[in-house]
Structure 1
Amino acid sequence: MKKLALFIAALLFSTFFYDQSIGLNLFLFSILTVVILFINNQTYFKNRKTQIYSAAYLITGLTIFFHSSTLSIIANVVSFFTLIGHLSETKSSIYINWLNGLYTTIAGFFHRNFAISETKSNEDDIEKKEPIDYLHWAKIILIPAVILITFIALYKEGNPVFSNIIEKIDFSFVNIQWLLVAGLGYYLFNNIYAPIEVEPATELDLKTENSLQKTSAFSLPKLKQENQLGVILISLLNALIVLYLITDIAFLTSDMEIRASLFSAQVHSGINALIASIVIAIMILLYVFRGNLNFYEQNKTLKRLAYTWIILNILLVISIAFKNSQYIYYFGLTYKRIGVLVYLILATIGLVTTLLKISSIKNNWYLFRVNTQAAFIILVMSSAINWDYHITNYNFKYAKSMDFKYLLNLSNNNTFILNEQLNTKALDEDDVAQIKSKYHKYIYQLRTNNWQELLYDNFKLNKK
């Protein structure tokens, strides 16, 4: 049953992807993958987390059908590795899922068939598997084939009737490349149908808890010195960030015309530095609260200062977000400006989880686990948005000024809305010509799509 399912899946894989661009086929492949995994791992699919990861994987596949973009394809691939890695060990962290998923996809077949078992407690109780004699199988296939071809060639020379029969046999219908893609599909599904784990990494992850433990090197004099250093350092950093926020508020409330002219330079030169400062802030707190200082009874002042610094850094995030939003207001949306907002969300999550780490005495593994999970959720959610459409729509409707060439160079996901602007916006002749060129090229692509390459825009076009 398993072999038949893998064989059918391989044929479908080649049907979906051979000589086809990405579209409906990737969503169909996502469904096929979940079916293959379900057939061999039914008990795991009762797990709520497995169901969530399966839904996330299918959603990213469906997203590609609605608006095929690089981000949605990346999200689909990451979700693929996440689901497969999760099935190898359902209790492991998400970054271990990625490792196990990648390893299973690449080397699952070889691991199951050629890995040497290190633990053999009782050799008499273990049923020994006879090794496959590959040389024997090669002889069975190759020797008869070579001899058969040789005699066919000889008989063709000796009998014209036989020669005519052989020459009429047409194997042009056999597509070697299609069969190779099917073979690749069989190898892929044969790898993933029973996910495996990278044992050392998975075992270490399962053994590592989130809580921080007091070590044997607990020394009150040393901890007192560390506490004093931490109080002085974080007090100074709190004073510095307060001063910065005051000056930042003064800048943000300055004359509007000056602000408009300075925002470009201010954002480009300032935001990267401020983002780096937030990362360094988190790293300093992780270093200060890395060990036994968490259990030092007189660390309450240090903790309060740390909480204050985290809150002030969150205010700094809000300040950066405000600057970025003003920059978007004046100069329009771009992927980099959206990327800044996404990073600020991640930075806020990092600051909040750092606060929880300090208050609940968690270790750095806790931060890594929670934040990688958050990054995965944001990736899946952001991939479901047609950014090209919304960037174009916002810039035409609300931006004070915009880079038209930037909009034109975006993917085909904004083609229809660009074409709509021909009737609503006063554009120069060159802009109109470029929009029409992009529109007609995309329409031609949609009309020549095979069923595997279908996109939601195909159905929108049919309605029009």
Structure 2
Amino acid sequence: MLFDFLFWQEQTGLNLLLYTLFVVGAVLATLPRHAPVWRSGYFQLALVGTLLSGGLVVLYGSFVAKLACVASLAMVLGYVNQPDLKLVAYALLTSLGNLGRAVPAVVNQLEPPRQASLRLKRTWFYVRLFLVPLGLLVLFHVLFSLANPRYEALTASFLTLLGDWFARVFEQISVPHVLFFLLGLALTTSALIIVPVHFFADHESRFGEFVRRQRNRVASFAVRQPDFSTKRFQLLDLRKEYLAALAVFGLVNLLLLVENLVDVNWIWFGFEPEKGFNLTQFVHEGTYVLIFSILVAMGIVLWFFRRNLNFYAPGLRWLRLGATVWVVQNAVLAVSVGLRNYYYILHMGLAYKRIGVYGFLLLTLFGLGTILLKIWQRRSAYSLVRLNALAAYAVLLLLAGGNWETWIARYNLQTRFDTLDLGFLLNMPGRMLPELVEKRAVLAQIPNLRRENSDGTIDSVGAAKAQQLLDARVANWLHDYQAEHTWKSWTYADARAYEQLHRIGLAAKSDGASQTAHVQFLLPTSAPK
């Protein structure tokens, strides 16, 4: 009932925080004082992340904050279900597994008692007993309707009245609302009722933090050499695997050194794109290819250091040195990718993808650091997955703490840019509109304003048209906010934007000066709900 009351036909804001606090409070209240989950650092981290991201939802209402809040709450429920879990992904999957088991468990508890079951069987017996008389009744009704027009008219009027009554009844029943209520019932059931899901915890218990030597598998390189005389295949021994790894690290290090020298000489210091230089292709294609090469390099290191090559004493020092140089060079390559992204932002403006690239690069640098742990401390792949999953969760919380739309609009509205994607700014959430209205004079100073249509084509927009589009966007948002937003979907950023735009609109109405002539968006006649 609380889920339906807070979320039905509402946008997400304060309601998500209230529901999250209810679920967290109910779960914590039912936990024993000495429950093992209280000693889990992962549970404590997820709990803090849940409260923090819930607060950020109320502050900004961004999609990243909502995603972080939902994911954090799911992690909390997963760790409550299995306190020994460490992997973030397994905690999420355990929470989903509990959803699949809690609902059927509750449904099974709704079976009627034994006496009610006996009454139901007796009722069904009498229903079947009267099926034949009921069929004869329908038959004679059809015959009388065909034979007597007055009888037919009387029954038709009765059926019409009955149909109108049923129509009025079903008008009060909203099928989407009923389905939404059932969805809330299922989600709340899975949150409050814990049915142990041991599968992922049992699977995780098989892994260790460090690589162990496997004496029954001397070789781990899955390449076989045919022996045509005996028609048998023999695995390459550990020394040949070591030579192959050393050759890979040596050759690719040289190739990567050339790439890094070119990048350092070209884009690290004083990079200025030449006239006609395709900066978009330089950043988009180059960034994605280089990121993919870093991921491939990490995969190769994980492959060679997955088993007994970690214990090959004769050449382990040189192998670790070559792998370390390769990891460091990939870190240099990641910095080059970050510089490419920076130059795009410097010359073309800021966008969601550019922010996402920096978040991904942070995870890449952290992942390269964990690769060094694997090389020098013989860490297992499980250990790396555990650490990098925690880092990904930390980056998600970091991104949730940003008012990115306002910052993007503030950065892109500079006269030094020759081109501005006005459609991109106007399609952003309404909380950035005050920034756009305050700097609307900049729109007349940017030579190329463009807007992408629904069919993918791009149109040029004149300065006057841009002002009209801005006024229409502000007017529509103010109207929608006043009509649709209630206290349940309240966020600080939206409420502040509404007050600022309302104040600007009132000032424009009372001021007849020419500099405010463009501020003609319609103001709501009443306050929001």
Q: Which residue of 2 aligns with 1:54?
A: 47
The one of 400, 416, 436 aligned to 1:418: 436
The one of 212, 219, 223 aligned to 2:238: 223
Give the counterpart letter for 1:293 in structure 2.
L
Q: Which residue of 1 aligns with 2:491?
A: 455
Q: Which runs of 5+ in 2 are unaligned?
A: 128-164, 220-235, 446-462, 504-529
Asked whether the equivalents of residues 430 and 497 of structure 2 are also in contact (C-alpha less than 8 Å), the reply is no
Q: Which residue of 1 aligns with 2:155?
A: none
- Alpha-carbon distance between aligned partners in 2 of 1:399 and 1:139, rounded to the nearest angstrom: 82
Partner SS state of residue 258, structure 1: coil
Shifted more, 74-83 versus 247-256: the winner is 247-256
- Alpha-carbon distance between aligned partners in 1 of 2:346 and 2:114, rounded to the nearest angstrom: 67
- Alpha-carbon distance between aligned partners in 1 of 2:437 and 2:183, rounded to the nearest angstrom: 41
The one of 81, 90, 99 aligned to 1:96: 90
**Are 1:234 and 2:228 matched, yes or no?**
no
Structure 1 residues 111 and 291, CA gap change in structure 2 (3 angstroms): farther
Shifted more, 170-179 versus 398-407: the winner is 170-179
Q: Which residue of 2 aligns with 1:107?
A: 101
- Alpha-carbon distance between aligned partners in 2 of 1:74 and 1:433, rounded to the nearest angstrom: 34
Counterpart mapping for 1:208-287 below 5 A: 208-217=207-216, 219=218, 222-252=237-267, 253=269, 256-258=272-274, 261-287=277-303
Asked whether the equivalents of residues 393 and 417 of structure 1 are also in contact (C-alpha less than 8 Å), the reply is yes
- Alpha-carbon distance between aligned partners in 1 of 2:385 and 2:115, rounded to the nearest angstrom: 49
- Alpha-carbon distance between aligned partners in 2 of 1:246 and 1:423, rounded to the nearest angstrom: 44
Structure 1 residues 308 and 135, CA gap change in structure 2 (3 angstroms): farther
Shifted more, 342-351 versus 310-319: the winner is 342-351
Q: Deviations over 1:283-311 (max 9, x none)?
A: 10011111001011121101000000000
Structure 1 residues 38 and 139, CA gap change in structure 2 (3 angstroms): farther
Give the counterpart letter for 1:283 in structure 2.
G
Structure 1 residues 358 and 103, CA gap change in structure 2 (3 angstroms): same
Give the counterpart letter for 2:380 in structure 1.
N
Greater relative contact order, per chain length (Cα 8 Å cut-off, separation 6+) = 1
Asked whether the equivalents of residues 88 and 195 of structure 1 are also in contact (C-alpha less than 8 Å), the reply is yes
Asked whether the equivalents of residues 415 and 442 of structure 1 are also in contact (C-alpha less than 8 Å), the reply is no
The one of 269, 292, 295 aligned to 2:311: 295
Asked whether the equivalents of residues 78 and 95 of structure 2 are also in contact (C-alpha less than 8 Å), the reply is yes
Q: Which residue of 1 aligns with 2:406?
A: 389
Q: Which residue of 1 aligns with 2:135?
A: none
Counterpart mapping for 1:124-273 below 5 A: 133=113, 136=116, 181-217=180-216, 219=218, 222-252=237-267, 253=269, 256-258=272-274, 261-273=277-289
Alignment RMSD? 3.3
Give the counterpart letter for 1:234 in structure 2.
F
Structure 1 residues 211 and 435, CA gap change in structure 2 (3 angstroms): same
1:202 Cα deviation (Å)? 1.2
Partner SS state of residue 362, structure 1: coil
Percent of pairs identical after alignment?
A: 23
Give the counterpart letter for 1:453 in structure 2.
S
Structure 1 residues 385 and 260, CA gap change in structure 2 (3 angstroms): farther
Partner SS state of residue 216, structure 1: coil
Q: Which residue of 2 aligns with 1:350?
A: 367
Shifted more, 171-180 versus 335-344: the winner is 171-180
> As a proportion of its length, which structure holds more helix?
1
Asked whether the equivalents of residues 332 and 399 of structure 1 are also in contact (C-alpha less than 8 Å), the reply is no
- Alpha-carbon distance between aligned partners in 2 of 1:358 and 1:112, rounded to the nearest angstrom: 49
TM-score by length of 2: 0.72
1:389 Cα deviation (Å)? 1.1
Partner SS state of residue 256, structure 1: coil
Structure 1 residues 315 and 95, CA gap change in structure 2 (3 angstroms): same
Asked whether the equivalents of residues 81 and 197 of structure 2 are also in contact (C-alpha less than 8 Å), the reply is no
Counterpart mapping for 1:354-365 below 5 A: 354-365=371-382
- Alpha-carbon distance between aligned partners in 2 of 1:56 and 1:76, rounded to the nearest angstrom: 7
Asked whether the equivalents of residues 432 and 497 of structure 2 are also in contact (C-alpha less than 8 Å), the reply is no
- Alpha-carbon distance between aligned partners in 1 of 2:23 and 2:260, rounded to the nearest angstrom: 51
**Are 1:376 and 2:393 matched, yes or no?**
yes
Asked whether the equivalents of residues 392 and 407 of structure 1 are also in contact (C-alpha less than 8 Å), the reply is yes
- Alpha-carbon distance between aligned partners in 2 of 1:228 and 1:138, rounded to the nearest angstrom: 78
Structure 1 residues 110 and 359, CA gap change in structure 2 (3 angstroms): same
Q: Which residue of 2 aligns with 1:83?
A: 76
Partner SS state of residue 290, structure 1: coil
- Alpha-carbon distance between aligned partners in 1 of 2:118 and 2:73, rounded to the nearest angstrom: 35
**Are 1:329 and 2:346 matched, yes or no?**
yes
- Alpha-carbon distance between aligned partners in 1 of 2:395 and 2:380, rounded to the nearest angstrom: 23
- Alpha-carbon distance between aligned partners in 1 of 2:201 and 2:291, rounded to the nearest angstrom: 32
1:276 Cα deviation (Å)? 0.7
Q: Which residue of 1 aligns with 2:476?
A: 441
1:397 Cα deviation (Å)? 3.8
- Alpha-carbon distance between aligned partners in 2 of 1:353 and 1:214, rounded to the nearest angstrom: 20
1:112 Cα deviation (Å)? 7.4
Shifted more, 364-373 versus 395-404: the winner is 395-404
Q: Deviations over 1:347-378 (max 9, x none)?
A: 11111111111111011111111111111111
Count of residues in correspondence between the two structures: 418
Give the counterpart letter for 1:136 in structure 2.
A
